[in-house]
Amino acid sequence: MQGNIKKMQTSLVQPVAYHLPVGDDLLAMDEHIGETVSLHYQGEINCVACGRKTGKSFAQGHCYPCFRRLAACDMCIMKPETCHYAAGTCREPAWGEQHCFQPHYVYLANSSGLKVGITRGTQIPTRWMDQGATQALPVFRVASRYQSGLLEVVLKQHVSDRTDWRKMLKAIAEPLDLKQIADDLLAKCNVEISAIQQQHGEGEIVRLDESVIDIQYPVNTYPLKIKSLNFDKQPQIEGKLLGIKGQYLILDTGVLNIRKFSGYNISIKFFT
């Protein structure tokens, strides 16, 4: 099978089911765990937005013009508290209204340990599976991405907003009592959270009482050491597929972040 790849699609079953888009096809990757996989980069990258050939990938699969032009590639996507829509300088106002002015969630997750994060409502539970979280708990529902960013800034004074991907790939994180942690965390941040609610209206920022979501991944063996594989340095990558977690293929030769190479033209073969 050969074609331009994109990040793996996930389904929340136990364990998570993974499908890799390869051109117009979907390849069920978890069905091949235990087999040897050979991936060969064909030396061509096509922008995931416009399809043009590009010599270098920016922001997970974009050509440079799209990287500079698209709102999806703007810094405010990574740091939503810097949203500049109200200033009239959004790169694509219509896109912003469709994607950013929609319900978002602030959550706690356990991937390499405790973290706080945000995601659009339509990306639940995909976001958690992409990060390799084994537990997740929605804590707030808000009316816009900007509001979720404001809450995240407050909460990350006490909790990391990042996943240690190396640690995440080495083992299953120790279970955490996310509901109790959420209660303790919000008590610490009560004054700042109340100020945000008063500024935007309590109806737009709602505290949730949800159950913890548990997630299992199709991994037979976790690696003792992490070696990152890279198509730009090694066009031919081969190894026994030991498992999949987050957006990583875990091989006996190293780990490969599929999302990083969105838009790359890859041929894939499996051997028993």
3-19 pLDDT tens trace? 999 999 999 999 999 99
Closest CA relative to residue 141, chosen from 236, 209, 73: 209
* Phi, psi at 184, each rounded to 5°: -65, -40
Residue 272 pLDDT class (50, 70, 90 cuts): confident
Q: Give the residue-averaged pLDDT of 78-94.
A: 96
Q: Give the residue-averaged pLDDT of 262-268.
A: 98
Query: What pTM value is reported for the model?
Result: 0.95
Dump pLDDT digits (tens) for 219-232: 999 999 999 999 99
Percent of the chain with pLDDT over 90: 98
Give CA angle at 205 (201, 211), nearest 5°: 155
In this structure, is the dihedral angle defined by the CA atoms of residues 62, 111, 103 and 75, taken in order, positive or negative?
A: negative
| Amino acid 163: pLDDT | 94
Residue 36 pLDDT class (50, 70, 90 cuts): very high
Q: Give the residue-averaged pLDDT of 103-115.
A: 97
Q: Give the residue-averaged pLDDT of 242-264.
A: 98
Cβ neighbours of residue 72 closer than 8 Å, sequence gap 6 or more: 49, 59, 95, 99
Burial, 187: exposed, middle or buried (Cβ in 10 Å; 0-12, 13-18, 19+)? exposed
- Site of tokens 């499996």: 270
| Amino acid 201: pLDDT | 84
Rg, the chain, Cα only: 20
| Amino acid 87: pLDDT | 96
| Amino acid 21: pLDDT | 98
In this structure, is the dihedral angle defined by the CA atoms of residues 97, 56, 235 and 266, taken in order, positive or negative?
A: positive
In this structure, is the dihedral angle defined by the CA atoms of residues 197, 203, 204 and 206, taken in order, positive or negative?
A: positive
Bridge-based pairing state of the strands 104-110 and 114-120:
antiparallel
